[in-house]
Chain A
Amino acid sequence: MFRSNSRGLFDFLAAALCLWAAAWHTPVGALVRGAIGKISGRGADTRPLLAYFSGGVYDARDIEVPVAPLPDLDPQVLAVIPPGTALGRGAYAVLQRQNPAVRATADRLAASYQLHVPDSPDAVAMLVNRARSDFDTDEGAVLALFAGPEIARYAVARARAEGRTATLEVLSRQLPPGSIGFFEAASQALMFGNAYALSWPVSPSTRVTSPFGYRTHPTLRTQQLHTGVDLSVPEGTQVRVVADGIVKRASEDAVNGKVIIVDHGRGVTTAYCHNSRLMVTTGEAVKAGQVISESGNTGRSTGPHLHYQLELGRRPVDPFVFKGKRVSAELPEVPQVPPKPTVPTLPVAPTGPSKALKDAFESAGSAPPEATEVPP
């Protein structure tokens, strides 16, 4: 192509390609760009170094729990929502927060299938369900919702060419770093979809003795985030796993007692603490509704109860957020800035039970007492 003495241009092109890719693709490139930005006084526009390892997928960094009113929610607070409907709700909650351009993309996808504009959770569920047949997986379908069908189709095709299943992680590697916004939206939608589909570990009418949120710890007397909900159950009550998953941890320690952590995929995990007996082992696959333990009073606990915890992108979230529209609708009014935030950007539940939470529990059978009444 070039004679030997013309290789200056050829080599320059190759070096430019390498430098361009490294600048946008590697932490060391981010460090250099950041340094240049600081020296030139323009400021750095780089992502945090650690973000180069996630691709924006199932990352809790930017999670905002669903706060938009969901008009079509089932009024039964603790009802189990079928996975398809749940994914529709999750995608709808995220779609509501997108800019008009992204929402127009979703409208265009719906129009291409001659479906109704995705302006409700059910309409989004129907759209995702229809798109799934074209994009192989839920992940491909949800990506099409936010990025558009062409980009999603391209990413799915390239994932197939690599011989891989079109998971969101694989799809994210097929698109340039500038597409990270699509993947953040898609991963939140999928996480929320999984969270909406979760059932409840004990009877829905079980009394809640301590809700999620900041509170004065009953034994340590310090302000701490209570990372789950305490469900008042007698010792020996059967605890059922809330969805299919893999047991990540089945062990005992002085704080959580006999604890089980289950990974449900798509960044969703649940934890069940203070059990008296564990009935599964680490690495075991469990099915929704399977009895995994018997509740108890082990670990740092002053009375029999089950501490049930939901984590999205490895960040604890109030499980009731995904269980009723009144809880979801009221959350924006109650965020507080705690003195020492463990979870800095997440909208947090109030120190005591909110009116919404009380409403939710009233619907379920009983109202929660004050947060400090019962230890974790």
Chain B
Amino acid sequence: MATDTRLGKVSGFFGIFRGFFMPLGLFALVAIGVHAAADLVDDRILSLVDALDAWADGWLAQSERLASWVDRIGPLQRTIIARSLAVVWELAVDLLVVLPQLGYGEADEVEPRFSFRRETWRTLFGRLNRQPTPMRLVRPLVTAIFVGGGGYAISRLVESTLFVALQNGVAPAEVAETIGRIAGGVAIVIVFASHGWRAILRALEHADAACEERVKRAVSPWPVGWVGSVLAFPLAIALILEAQNLLALVR
């Protein structure tokens, strides 16, 4: 039995704290994906703010009384406004879509604290098929995309951090790059294998629970969670449009 080995004992020790670190890890993974997406859209937001400011200046200029308000918002302020909107957007998605990851829990008839169940997927997909509400459809989908973006960001961070740390004569650049790439690859495998699917299942579980709760109260489950879904969807699309980045994993 692995529990008899030293590794098994260490692992068993860490297992005691699963209820603490697993929800936090899942939250962190999806939050990184959300930030990667928000970082992509902030330039678009800035263009919109610029266009809106130009339009507002033109409108204000038509009135003698309002003309003094023209040009009140300078380019630096517009940048701050755009980035603030990006931060607020990101934090709103964190709050509405990512935060439920903290509700992650594990239960299994064999080992209550450990593995997730195949039955859970079947049950949840069965309900999704029977009643495909927007929340049941969108939440797991956007979470899967955020998990992809988050996993890639973590891999890149591990790889580049290791490469930079091995500079200044610690290791030749070629060796440092190879070590970095291997570490980055291992990191993304670990993250996806351990956290990726759990985050998606947790999103489906949360969406299902929210919908079922409405069904029990004889209320339509269709509108539930629409704000979070509407906020998260464009960010997920932005990440998909940047999916070519993932090719770097194999180049």
Contacts and interface: CB of A to CB of B under 8 A. Distances in A.
Interface of A: 2-19, 21-29, 49-50, 52-54, 60, 148, 150-151, 153-154, 157-158, 160-163, 173-176, 178-179, 227, 248-249, 251-256, 269, 311, 314-316, 342-343
A9 B28 contact: no
Given A4-B115, A24-B157, A29-B31, 17 more contacts: A5-B1, A5-B8, A10-B11, A11-B22, A15-B22, A15-B25, A18-B29, A21-B32, A23-B28, A27-B35, A27-B87, A28-B31, A28-B90, A52-B87, A151-B164, A178-B164, A254-B60
Contact of B164 (A6, A17, A179): A179
B167 interface: yes
14 contacts: A3-B8, A6-B2, A7-B115, A8-B14, A18-B154, A25-B153, A29-B31, A154-B177, A158-B160, A158-B248, A178-B164, A314-B74, A314-B79, A342-B74
B42 interface: yes
A7 B11 contact: yes
B57 A26 contact: no
Interface residues of B, number: 81
Given A6-B11, A14-B190, A153-B173, A162 B244 contact: yes
A37 B205 CA distance: 34
A18 B11 contact: no
B90 A5 contact: no
Interface of B: 1-3, 7-8, 10-18, 21-22, 24-29, 31-32, 34-35, 38-39, 42, 50, 54, 57-58, 60-61, 64, 67-68, 70-71, 74-76, 78-80, 83-84, 86-87, 90-91, 94, 111, 114-115, 150, 153-154, 156-158, 160-161, 163-164, 167, 173, 176-177, 187, 190-191, 193-195, 244-245, 247-248, 251
B164 A176 contact: yes
Contact of B114 (A7, A9, A54, A176): A7
Contacts of B27: 22
A269 B76 CA distance: 12
B91 A50 contact: no
A25 B14 contact: no
* B2, B35, B68 — most chain A CB neighbours (10 Å): B35
